[in-house]
Structure 1
Amino acid sequence: MQHIYRKIRGIPYSQHKRQGNIDGLRVWTEAVVQQTRNLPRVRQACIAKVTFLLPENKYPPNFPNGSDLDNLLKRFFDALNKTVFSEAPGKDSCVISLHVSKVRVKSDNKAGALLEILPVTV
């Protein structure tokens, strides 16, 4: 497997959403699948780094630190299970080390996620 680095464009959404743009969940999942479908497949243990690029509206007054990372990651990895992790035994369980962060971006067109995957030998 090669080193993978890709910016996925779109507005990240968490695993569940009960109000607002409910369709955004599907749109984000489809964006991740479409933008990673031609990347190399992971077939071995790896290290993953994900930086979510969240627009201003993901930082409402009642959540000044933005969306929960674990919920953002769940939807993101479920989408990657259809592409880069699709041939790995156990799908995303091949990730043995993970670094996840989020940063605020000024506009929706700068939103997305930075994905980096490095193969490792265990």
Structure 2
Amino acid sequence: MSYINHLIKGVPYSRNKSRGNLGAADQWSEQVKLQTTHLPRVKEACALKVTFLLPPDKFPADFPHGPDLDNLLKRFMDALNGTIFADTPGGDSCVVMLTVMKTKVSSPAEAGAHLEVLPVSVA
């Protein structure tokens, strides 16, 4: 497996919305799939690092730290199961080490997710 270092553009979402753009979460999942379909397929154990780049509206006054990382990651990993993890027995269970963070960017145009996948030797 080769090292993967890729920026996925778009506004990350964790779950379906109940108001506003109701299709935004599904659109994010589709963008993750579309923008990772050309990447190498993971076939063995790996370490995964994800940095969610979130626009200011994801940090409202009553939720100053932004959306839950576990919820952002769940939707993201589900989308990757259709691309880079599609040929891996067990899908994303091949991830043996995980680093995830979120950070605020200044506008939706800068939003996305930075993905790194590194091979890991498991004895």
**TM bracket (short chain):** over 0.9
CA deviations 1:15-62 (Å, max 9, x no partner) are 343233221111101110000000000000000000000000000111
More divergent stretch after superposition (46-55 vs 22-31): 22-31
* Structure 1 counterpart SS, 2:103: strand
Cα RMSD, aligned residues only: 0.8
Work out whether residues 16 and 23 of structure 2, in 8 Å CA contact, stay in contact via their aligned partners in 1: no
Secondary structure in 2 aligned to 1:79?
Answer: helix
> How many Å apart are 1:4 and its aligned residue?
0.3
Query: Which residue in 2 is equivalent to 1:39?
Result: 39
Q: Work out the percentage of aligned pairs sharing the same amino acid.
A: 56
TM-score (norm 2): 0.96
Q: Does the 8 Å CA contact 2:40/2:84 hold for their aligned counterparts?
A: yes
Q: Runs in 1 of length 4+ with deviation above 6 angstroms?
A: none
Q: Distance in 2 between matches of 1:16 and 1:68?
A: 14
TM superposition score normalised by structure 1: 0.97
Query: What's 1:91 paired with?
Result: 91
- Residues 86/39 of structure 1: CA separation in 2 closer, same or farther (3 Å cut): same
Matches of 1:17 and 1:101, distance apart in 2: 22
Provide the residue aligned with 2:52 in structure 1: 52
CA contact (8 A) 2:11 2:28 kept: yes
- Superposed, 1:105-116 pairs within 5 Å as 105-116=105-116
Is the Cα–Cα contact under 8 Å of residues 15 and 74 in structure 1 kept in the other structure? no
**What amino acid is the match of 2:86?**
S
The aligned runs of 1:1-122 (5 Å cut-off) are 1-122=1-122
Q: Which ranges of structure 1 fall in alignment gaps of 5 or more residues?
A: none
Q: How far apart, in 2, do the equivalents of 1:97 and 1:80 lie?
A: 16
Instruction: Give the Cα separation in 1 of the matches to 2:20 and 2:60.
Output: 13
Paired AA for residue 87 in structure 1: D
